[in-house]
Structure 1
Protein backbone atom coordinates (compact mmCIF):
# COMPACT_ATOMS: atom_id res chain seq x y z
CA UNK A 1 0.00 0.00 0.00
CA UNK A 2 2.82 2.43 0.84
CA UNK A 3 4.33 2.03 -2.62
CA UNK A 4 0.97 2.74 -4.25
CA UNK A 5 0.34 5.82 -2.10
CA UNK A 6 3.87 7.05 -2.72
CA UNK A 7 3.46 6.66 -6.49
CA UNK A 8 0.15 8.51 -6.27
CA UNK A 9 1.90 11.39 -4.48
CA UNK A 10 4.61 11.46 -7.14
CA UNK A 11 2.01 11.71 -9.88
CA UNK A 12 0.24 14.55 -8.08
CA UNK A 13 3.43 16.57 -7.76
CA UNK A 14 4.47 15.87 -11.34
CA UNK A 15 1.06 16.59 -12.90
CA UNK A 16 -0.21 19.32 -10.56
CA UNK A 17 -3.44 17.40 -9.93
CA UNK A 18 -3.58 17.34 -6.15
CA UNK A 19 -3.82 19.61 -3.13
CA UNK A 20 -2.64 22.66 -5.04
CA UNK A 21 -4.62 25.89 -4.89
CA UNK A 22 -4.66 26.30 -8.66
CA UNK A 23 -6.10 22.81 -9.20
CA UNK A 24 -8.57 23.03 -6.31
CA UNK A 25 -9.82 26.46 -7.43
CA UNK A 26 -9.76 26.39 -11.21
CA UNK A 27 -10.38 22.74 -11.99
CA UNK A 28 -12.44 21.42 -9.08
CA UNK A 29 -13.96 24.69 -7.89
CA UNK A 30 -13.32 23.75 -4.25
CA UNK A 31 -11.19 26.73 -3.22
CA UNK A 32 -12.11 30.41 -3.52
CA UNK A 33 -8.56 31.41 -4.57
CA UNK A 34 -5.42 29.84 -6.00
CA UNK A 35 -3.27 31.26 -3.20
CA UNK A 36 -0.85 29.02 -1.30
CA UNK A 37 -1.97 28.21 2.25
CA UNK A 38 1.52 27.21 3.34
CA UNK A 39 3.49 30.40 2.84
CA UNK A 40 2.98 34.11 3.48
CA UNK A 41 4.23 35.13 0.05
CA UNK A 42 0.75 35.13 -1.48
CA UNK A 43 1.95 33.14 -4.46
CA UNK A 44 -0.26 30.96 -6.60
CA UNK A 45 -0.14 27.41 -5.26
CA UNK A 46 0.98 25.21 -8.13
CA UNK A 47 3.08 22.06 -8.32
CA UNK A 48 5.97 24.21 -9.58
CA UNK A 49 5.61 26.62 -6.63
CA UNK A 50 5.57 23.68 -4.22
CA UNK A 51 8.57 21.96 -5.84
CA UNK A 52 10.83 24.94 -6.30
CA UNK A 53 9.73 28.07 -4.44
CA UNK A 54 7.46 27.70 -1.40
CA UNK A 55 9.42 28.48 1.78
CA UNK A 56 7.27 26.02 3.75
CA UNK A 57 9.02 23.11 2.03
CA UNK A 58 12.62 24.39 2.18
CA UNK A 59 13.80 21.56 4.44
CA UNK A 60 12.38 18.86 2.14
CA UNK A 61 13.66 20.74 -0.93
CA UNK A 62 17.20 20.92 0.52
CA UNK A 63 17.24 17.16 1.11
CA UNK A 64 16.05 16.57 -2.47
CA UNK A 65 18.53 19.03 -3.98
CA UNK A 66 21.40 17.31 -2.16
CA UNK A 67 20.66 14.17 -4.18
CA UNK A 68 19.31 15.38 -7.55
CA UNK A 69 20.86 18.85 -7.87
CA UNK A 70 19.49 22.38 -7.73
CA UNK A 71 17.29 22.17 -10.83
CA UNK A 72 13.87 21.04 -9.59
CA UNK A 73 11.99 21.66 -12.81
CA UNK A 74 9.63 18.96 -13.99
CA UNK A 75 11.95 17.77 -16.76
CA UNK A 76 14.97 17.69 -14.42
CA UNK A 77 13.09 15.62 -11.82
CA UNK A 78 11.95 13.13 -14.43
CA UNK A 79 15.51 12.82 -15.77
CA UNK A 80 16.77 12.29 -12.22
CA UNK A 81 14.15 9.63 -11.50
CA UNK A 82 15.18 7.54 -14.49
CA UNK A 83 18.88 8.16 -13.86
CA UNK A 84 19.24 6.10 -10.68
CA UNK A 85 17.31 4.33 -7.96
CA UNK A 86 18.80 6.66 -5.34
CA UNK A 87 17.36 9.70 -7.15
CA UNK A 88 14.03 7.94 -7.68
CA UNK A 89 13.80 7.32 -3.92
CA UNK A 90 14.76 10.94 -3.15
CA UNK A 91 12.04 12.31 -5.46
CA UNK A 92 9.53 9.82 -4.09
CA UNK A 93 10.34 10.76 -0.47
CA UNK A 94 10.07 14.46 -1.30
CA UNK A 95 6.70 14.05 -3.01
CA UNK A 96 5.33 11.77 -0.31
CA UNK A 97 6.40 14.02 2.56
CA UNK A 98 4.97 17.19 1.04
CA UNK A 99 1.72 15.69 -0.22
CA UNK A 100 0.97 14.02 3.13
CA UNK A 101 1.32 17.43 4.80
CA UNK A 102 -0.73 19.23 2.14
CA UNK A 103 -3.49 16.60 2.30
CA UNK A 104 -3.61 16.82 6.12
CA UNK A 105 -3.89 20.61 5.90
CA UNK A 106 -6.71 20.32 3.35
CA UNK A 107 -8.60 17.90 5.62
CA UNK A 108 -8.24 20.40 8.49
CA UNK A 109 -9.62 23.19 6.29
CA UNK A 110 -12.54 20.95 5.27
CA UNK A 111 -13.43 20.35 8.92
CA UNK A 112 -13.09 24.00 9.94
CA UNK A 113 -16.58 25.58 9.97
CA UNK A 114 -15.04 29.01 9.27
CA UNK A 115 -13.12 27.77 6.24
CA UNK A 116 -13.92 29.15 2.81
CA UNK A 117 -13.29 25.73 1.30
CA UNK A 118 -16.23 24.78 -0.86
CA UNK A 119 -17.46 21.31 -0.01
CA UNK A 120 -18.88 19.30 -2.85
CA UNK A 121 -20.37 15.85 -2.77
CA UNK A 122 -19.78 13.22 -5.38
CA UNK A 123 -21.88 13.62 -8.48
CA UNK A 124 -22.54 11.54 -11.52
CA UNK A 125 -23.02 7.90 -12.28
CA UNK A 126 -20.93 6.52 -9.42
CA UNK A 127 -22.77 8.67 -6.88
CA UNK A 128 -26.18 7.60 -8.21
CA UNK A 129 -25.12 3.94 -8.14
CA UNK A 130 -23.94 4.33 -4.55
CA UNK A 131 -27.21 5.96 -3.47
CA UNK A 132 -29.26 3.27 -5.26
CA UNK A 133 -27.51 0.55 -3.22
CA UNK A 134 -28.21 2.15 0.16
CA UNK A 135 -30.90 0.43 2.24
CA UNK A 136 -34.23 2.30 2.46
Structure 2
Protein backbone atom coordinates (compact mmCIF):
# COMPACT_ATOMS: atom_id res chain seq x y z
CA UNK A 1 0.00 0.00 0.00
CA UNK A 2 2.89 2.40 0.70
CA UNK A 3 3.81 2.46 -3.02
CA UNK A 4 0.24 2.72 -4.30
CA UNK A 5 0.07 5.29 -7.08
CA UNK A 6 3.88 5.58 -7.20
CA UNK A 7 3.96 6.25 -10.98
CA UNK A 8 2.01 9.46 -10.28
CA UNK A 9 3.80 10.86 -7.25
CA UNK A 10 7.31 9.37 -7.47
CA UNK A 11 8.65 11.88 -10.07
CA UNK A 12 7.79 14.70 -7.66
CA UNK A 13 9.05 12.99 -4.51
CA UNK A 14 10.97 15.63 -2.58
CA UNK A 15 13.27 15.23 0.41
CA UNK A 16 10.68 15.62 3.18
CA UNK A 17 8.06 13.23 1.74
CA UNK A 18 10.84 10.76 0.93
CA UNK A 19 12.00 10.92 4.54
CA UNK A 20 8.46 10.22 5.75
CA UNK A 21 8.23 7.26 3.38
CA UNK A 22 11.51 5.81 4.62
CA UNK A 23 10.48 6.37 8.24
CA UNK A 24 7.41 4.21 7.66
CA UNK A 25 9.55 1.57 5.97
CA UNK A 26 11.95 1.56 8.91
CA UNK A 27 9.15 0.52 11.27
CA UNK A 28 8.24 -2.39 9.00
CA UNK A 29 11.85 -3.47 8.43
CA UNK A 30 12.56 -3.55 12.17
CA UNK A 31 9.56 -5.84 12.60
CA UNK A 32 10.88 -8.11 9.84
CA UNK A 33 14.30 -8.49 11.48
CA UNK A 34 12.83 -8.65 15.01
CA UNK A 35 15.12 -5.88 16.16
CA UNK A 36 15.21 -3.15 18.76
CA UNK A 37 13.35 -0.01 17.76
CA UNK A 38 16.58 1.98 17.98
CA UNK A 39 18.06 0.34 14.85
CA UNK A 40 18.54 2.70 11.91
CA UNK A 41 16.40 2.41 8.81
CA UNK A 42 19.44 1.87 6.59
CA UNK A 43 20.63 -1.08 8.69
CA UNK A 44 17.16 -2.57 9.10
CA UNK A 45 16.43 -2.41 5.37
CA UNK A 46 19.73 -4.09 4.52
CA UNK A 47 19.26 -6.90 7.03
CA UNK A 48 15.67 -7.41 5.87
CA UNK A 49 16.66 -7.29 2.19
CA UNK A 50 14.20 -4.47 1.51
CA UNK A 51 15.34 -1.82 -1.01
CA UNK A 52 14.46 1.74 0.06
CA UNK A 53 10.90 2.56 -0.92
CA UNK A 54 11.82 5.81 -2.63
CA UNK A 55 14.02 3.80 -5.04
CA UNK A 56 11.26 1.23 -5.54
CA UNK A 57 8.87 4.06 -6.36
CA UNK A 58 11.28 5.39 -9.01
CA UNK A 59 11.32 1.98 -10.70
CA UNK A 60 7.52 1.81 -10.80
CA UNK A 61 7.31 5.34 -12.16
CA UNK A 62 9.92 4.69 -14.86
CA UNK A 63 8.23 1.49 -16.05
CA UNK A 64 4.92 3.34 -16.21
CA UNK A 65 6.56 6.13 -18.22
CA UNK A 66 8.10 3.68 -20.70
CA UNK A 67 4.76 1.97 -21.23
CA UNK A 68 3.02 5.31 -21.68
CA UNK A 69 5.60 6.43 -24.25
CA UNK A 70 5.12 3.20 -26.19
CA UNK A 71 1.35 3.62 -26.19
CA UNK A 72 1.66 7.18 -27.49
CA UNK A 73 3.64 5.79 -30.41
CA UNK A 74 0.82 3.36 -31.10
CA UNK A 75 2.76 0.38 -29.74
CA UNK A 76 1.67 -2.22 -27.22
CA UNK A 77 4.73 -3.46 -25.34
CA UNK A 78 4.82 -7.20 -24.78
CA UNK A 79 5.11 -8.60 -21.29
CA UNK A 80 8.68 -9.75 -21.95
CA UNK A 81 9.64 -6.21 -22.95
CA UNK A 82 8.11 -4.84 -19.77
CA UNK A 83 9.96 -7.49 -17.77
CA UNK A 84 13.22 -6.51 -19.48
CA UNK A 85 12.65 -2.85 -18.59
CA UNK A 86 11.87 -3.78 -15.01
CA UNK A 87 14.94 -6.02 -14.70
CA UNK A 88 17.24 -3.30 -16.01
CA UNK A 89 15.75 -0.72 -13.68
CA UNK A 90 16.05 -3.12 -10.75
CA UNK A 91 19.76 -3.46 -11.49
CA UNK A 92 20.05 0.32 -11.44
CA UNK A 93 18.12 0.37 -8.16
CA UNK A 94 20.51 -2.11 -6.55
CA UNK A 95 23.51 -0.11 -7.73
CA UNK A 96 22.07 3.10 -6.27
CA UNK A 97 21.22 1.33 -3.02
CA UNK A 98 24.78 0.05 -2.73
CA UNK A 99 26.06 3.56 -3.36
CA UNK A 100 23.93 4.86 -0.50
CA UNK A 101 25.24 2.13 1.78
CA UNK A 102 28.80 3.24 1.05
CA UNK A 103 28.03 6.45 2.98
CA UNK A 104 25.64 5.40 5.77
CA UNK A 105 24.42 7.88 8.33
CA UNK A 106 23.78 5.30 11.08
CA UNK A 107 24.15 1.59 11.72
CA UNK A 108 27.76 1.78 10.58
CA UNK A 109 29.02 -1.48 12.11
CA UNK A 110 26.33 -3.77 10.75
CA UNK A 111 26.35 -2.10 7.33
CA UNK A 112 30.15 -2.45 7.19
CA UNK A 113 29.76 -6.15 7.97
CA UNK A 114 26.99 -6.93 5.47
CA UNK A 115 27.49 -4.55 2.53
CA UNK A 116 30.69 -6.25 1.21
CA UNK A 117 28.49 -9.34 0.77
CA UNK A 118 25.55 -7.35 -0.56
CA UNK A 119 24.51 -9.74 -3.33
CA UNK A 120 25.23 -12.89 -1.33
CA UNK A 121 23.13 -11.60 1.57
CA UNK A 122 20.16 -10.65 -0.58
CA UNK A 123 20.24 -13.74 -2.79
CA UNK A 124 20.79 -16.40 -0.14
CA UNK A 125 18.17 -19.13 0.10
CA UNK A 126 18.69 -20.03 3.74
CA UNK A 127 18.63 -18.39 7.14
CA UNK A 128 16.06 -16.39 9.10
CA UNK A 129 16.93 -13.55 11.44
CA UNK A 130 15.87 -13.99 15.04
CA UNK A 131 15.54 -11.50 17.86
CA UNK A 132 18.84 -12.56 19.45
CA UNK A 133 20.77 -13.00 16.21
CA UNK A 134 19.74 -9.48 15.24
CA UNK A 135 21.05 -8.18 18.57
CA UNK A 136 24.51 -9.50 17.77
CA UNK A 137 24.51 -8.19 14.20
CA UNK A 138 23.35 -4.69 15.19
CA UNK A 139 24.79 -4.26 18.68
CA UNK A 140 21.35 -3.12 19.86
CA UNK A 141 20.43 -5.42 22.72
CA UNK A 142 21.79 -6.87 25.95
CA UNK A 143 25.24 -5.33 25.72
CA UNK A 144 26.60 -3.04 28.42
CA UNK A 145 27.66 -0.42 25.90
CA UNK A 146 24.19 -0.21 24.34
CA UNK A 147 22.33 -0.36 27.67
CA UNK A 148 24.57 2.40 29.04
CA UNK A 149 23.88 4.59 26.01
CA UNK A 150 20.11 4.28 26.47
CA UNK A 151 20.31 4.82 30.23
CA UNK A 152 19.59 1.27 31.38
CA UNK A 153 23.01 0.64 32.95
CA UNK A 154 25.23 2.76 35.16
CA UNK A 155 28.37 1.75 33.24
CA UNK A 156 29.12 0.03 29.91
CA UNK A 157 31.16 -2.66 31.67
CA UNK A 158 30.66 -6.41 31.34
CA UNK A 159 28.98 -7.95 34.40
CA UNK A 160 30.54 -11.33 33.65
CA UNK A 161 34.19 -10.19 33.81
CA UNK A 162 36.05 -9.22 37.00
CA UNK A 163 37.82 -6.22 35.46
CA UNK A 164 34.55 -5.01 33.84
CA UNK A 165 35.80 -4.24 30.28
CA UNK A 166 33.35 -2.53 27.95
CA UNK A 167 30.63 -5.00 27.03
CA UNK A 168 30.35 -4.82 23.24
CA UNK A 169 29.35 -7.29 20.55
CA UNK A 170 33.01 -8.06 19.94
CA UNK A 171 33.71 -8.64 23.63
CA UNK A 172 30.69 -10.90 24.05
CA UNK A 173 31.27 -12.98 20.94
CA UNK A 174 35.05 -13.34 20.94
CA UNK A 175 36.48 -12.55 24.38
CA UNK A 176 34.23 -12.88 27.44
CA UNK A 177 35.20 -16.09 29.29
CA UNK A 178 31.63 -16.64 30.47
CA UNK A 179 30.71 -17.83 26.98
CA UNK A 180 33.81 -19.92 26.21
CA UNK A 181 31.88 -23.19 26.00
CA UNK A 182 29.35 -21.78 23.52
CA UNK A 183 32.19 -20.13 21.60
CA UNK A 184 34.01 -23.42 21.14
CA UNK A 185 30.87 -25.07 19.76
CA UNK A 186 30.62 -22.21 17.26
CA UNK A 187 34.29 -22.51 16.27
CA UNK A 188 33.88 -26.25 15.74
CA UNK A 189 31.50 -25.40 12.89
CA UNK A 190 32.69 -22.11 11.38
CA UNK A 191 36.43 -22.56 11.97
CA UNK A 192 39.09 -21.02 14.18
CA UNK A 193 39.29 -17.65 12.44
CA UNK A 194 38.26 -14.36 13.97
CA UNK A 195 34.71 -13.90 15.24
CA UNK A 196 34.20 -10.30 14.19
CA UNK A 197 30.85 -9.28 12.77
CA UNK A 198 32.15 -9.36 9.16
CA UNK A 199 33.47 -12.88 9.78
CA UNK A 200 30.15 -13.99 11.27
CA UNK A 201 28.25 -12.64 8.26
CA UNK A 202 30.66 -14.41 5.90
CA UNK A 203 29.97 -17.68 7.70
CA UNK A 204 26.22 -17.09 7.70
CA UNK A 205 25.96 -16.61 3.94
CA UNK A 206 28.36 -19.47 3.25
CA UNK A 207 25.99 -22.28 4.22
CA UNK A 208 22.85 -23.10 6.17
CA UNK A 209 24.95 -25.15 8.60
CA UNK A 210 27.16 -22.16 9.41
CA UNK A 211 24.14 -19.85 9.67
CA UNK A 212 22.51 -22.22 12.17
CA UNK A 213 25.72 -22.41 14.20
CA UNK A 214 25.95 -18.61 14.48
CA UNK A 215 22.24 -18.35 15.27
CA UNK A 216 22.43 -21.04 17.97
CA UNK A 217 25.40 -19.30 19.59
CA UNK A 218 23.53 -15.99 19.63
CA UNK A 219 20.38 -17.58 21.03
CA UNK A 220 22.21 -19.26 23.90
CA UNK A 221 24.49 -16.38 24.87
CA UNK A 222 22.01 -13.53 24.50
CA UNK A 223 19.31 -15.46 26.38
CA UNK A 224 21.74 -15.99 29.27
CA UNK A 225 22.66 -12.28 29.23
CA UNK A 226 18.99 -11.26 29.20
CA UNK A 227 18.18 -13.52 32.14
CA UNK A 228 21.15 -12.16 34.10
CA UNK A 229 19.99 -8.63 33.34
CA UNK A 230 16.48 -9.37 34.60
CA UNK A 231 17.89 -10.77 37.83
CA UNK A 232 19.95 -7.61 38.34
CA UNK A 233 16.90 -5.42 37.72
CA UNK A 234 14.78 -7.41 40.17
CA UNK A 235 17.38 -7.36 42.93
CA UNK A 236 18.32 -3.71 42.52
CA UNK A 237 16.27 -1.11 44.37
CA UNK A 238 18.03 1.72 42.59
CA UNK A 239 16.35 3.04 39.41
CA UNK A 240 18.38 3.28 36.23
CA UNK A 241 19.80 6.57 34.98
CA UNK A 242 16.97 6.79 32.46
CA UNK A 243 14.34 6.20 35.13
CA UNK A 244 15.86 8.85 37.39
CA UNK A 245 15.67 11.41 34.59
CA UNK A 246 12.24 10.42 33.27
CA UNK A 247 10.62 9.91 36.65
CA UNK A 248 9.08 6.57 35.71
CA UNK A 249 10.09 3.00 36.29
CA UNK A 250 10.57 1.23 32.95
CA UNK A 251 12.46 -1.63 31.41
CA UNK A 252 14.54 -2.37 28.35
CA UNK A 253 11.43 -4.09 26.96
CA UNK A 254 10.21 -0.61 25.93
CA UNK A 255 12.60 -0.72 22.96
CA UNK A 256 12.05 -4.33 21.93
CA UNK A 257 9.93 -5.39 18.96
CA UNK A 258 6.18 -5.11 19.67
Pick the TM interval, shorter chain: 0.7 to 0.9
CA RMSD of aligned residues (A): 2.2
The structure that has the greater radius of gyration is: 2
How is 1:46-65 mapped onto 2 (pairs within 5 angstroms)?
46-65=168-187
Unaligned runs of 5+ residues in structure 1 are 127-136
Question: 1:35-71 CA deviation, whole Å, 9 max, x = no partner?
Answer: 0001213210011100110010000001101111222
The question of 1:42 aligning with 2:164 is answered yes
Q: Which has the higher helix share?
A: 2
Q: Which moved more, 1:4-13 or 1:94-103?
A: 4-13
TM-score scaled by length of structure 1: 0.79
Structure 1 runs (4+) greater than 4 angstroms displaced: 114-120
* Higher relative contact order (CA closer than 8 Å, sequence separation 6+): 1
TM-score scaled by length of structure 2: 0.43
Change in Cα spacing, 1:59 to 1:18, as seen in structure 2 (3 Å) is same
Residue number in structure 2 paired with 1:85: 208
Q: Is the 8 A contact 1:109 1:117 kept in 2?
A: no
Unaligned runs of 5+ residues in structure 2 are 1-33, 36-128, 244-248
SS at match of 2:130: helix
Q: How many residues are paired up?
A: 119
SS at match of 2:220: helix
1:114 shift after superposition: 4.6
